[in-house]
Amino acid sequence: MASKTSDILNKRKKLVLETWINNQLQDPTLREDLMTNQELHGQSEELLDSFNQAIRSGNYTDIDSQEYYPVLDILNSLSVTRAHAGFSPRETATFVLSLKRAIVEVLQQELAQDQALLISEILKISDLLDSLSISTLEAFIKGREEVILRQTNEINEISTPVIRVWEGILALPIIGTLDSERTQIIMENLLQEIVNTSSNIAILDISGVPTVDTLVAQHLIKTVSAARLMGAECIISGIRPEIAQTIVHLGIDLLGVQTKASLAAALQTAFSRQQLSVVKAKAKP
């Protein structure tokens, strides 16, 4: 059975599109800095054409059916793109929900003489676009999660640099809280750099770690053990007085792991092990 709304959209497409775009442009949350009016017009027209094609069969309820595949493809792509661009969930949902208002306005004009049909078509269109807006939000959330995961990985990579201080000596300043995932990244980066540089000493500086508890200590011990298996000894530096007290209070066993209060002290120990000495150059006369 053909859709009455589809017939009206075919006849009044220009009006529906103009009304829909105006509704979006009037929304105070519209991000004009993230999208041009031309891009907005193109996306709106593409979705409207695909939506009208889908409802021609009279199917208003099953958006998982084949005729809605193109609509969902457009919405999924648009949602992911907007998530990556920095749009909010509300802004993305408004894109679909504002179409409902535009279609309802045109239906009221075209079916003013048949109130029963008008109410029936409005209810069906409302339910359909609500379902599509939910699907849009789900795709947006998935896209946002991908962005957050990528950014988290990038931050972890940036915040765990392994620095070659001298031949055979590596330093890894750790900033922020240590968890299992971050420890794994630290361990992988450190072990890879030990292999790349044939280093035999690694300094783990925890000056930037706010607190050390049993879990953090276990993560550090695992990293030290892994480095030893690769032939490198670790020195843990940045043991502040409060951290030392916490370690003693918790009964954490760091026996066999050399610790130093500062990175400078750890470097002195590392240079000594490598039979290196640092002396001041004599001032030129």
- What is the Cα Rg of the chain in Å? 31
Predicted confidence at residue 158, as pLDDT, reads 63
Q: What is the pLDDT of residues 77-118, one digit of tens each?
A: 888 888 888 888 888 888 888 899 899 999 999 898 899 999
Predicted confidence at residue 123, as pLDDT, reads 92
Fold adopted by 163-273: Transcription Regulator spoIIAA (3.30.750)
Predicted confidence at residue 242, as pLDDT, reads 80
Query: What are the C-alpha distances in Å from 132 to residues 34, 49, 108?
Result: 23, 15, 22
Predicted confidence at residue 222, as pLDDT, reads 84
Tokens 């950014």 belong to which residue?
A: 151
Give the HSE-up count for residue 3: Cα atoms under 13 Å, Cβ half-sphere: 22
Q: Residue 234: which residues within 8 A CB-CB, separation 6 or more?
A: 201, 202, 203, 204, 223, 224, 227, 228, 257, 258
Check if the beta carbon of residue 255 is closer than 8 Å to that of residue 221. Answer: no
Q: Which residues of the chain are in CATH 1.10.490 domains? A: 4-156
Q: Rounded distance, CA 96 to CA 89, Å? A: 12
Would you give the end-to-end CA distance of the chain in angstroms?
A: 100
Strand order from edge to edge, sheet including 201-208: 163-166, 169-175, 201-208, 233-237, 258-260
**Helices (runs of H) and strands (runs of E) counted in the chain:** 10, 5
Predicted confidence at residue 1, as pLDDT, reads 45
Low-confidence ranges of the chain (pLDDT < 70): 1-2, 29-33, 154-160, 254-255, 283-285
Predicted confidence at residue 32, as pLDDT, reads 66
Q: Which residues of the chain are in CATH 3.30.750.24 domains? A: 163-273
Q: What is the CATH number of domain 4-156?
A: 1.10.490
Check if the beta carbon of residue 51 is closer than 8 Å to that of residue 99. Answer: yes
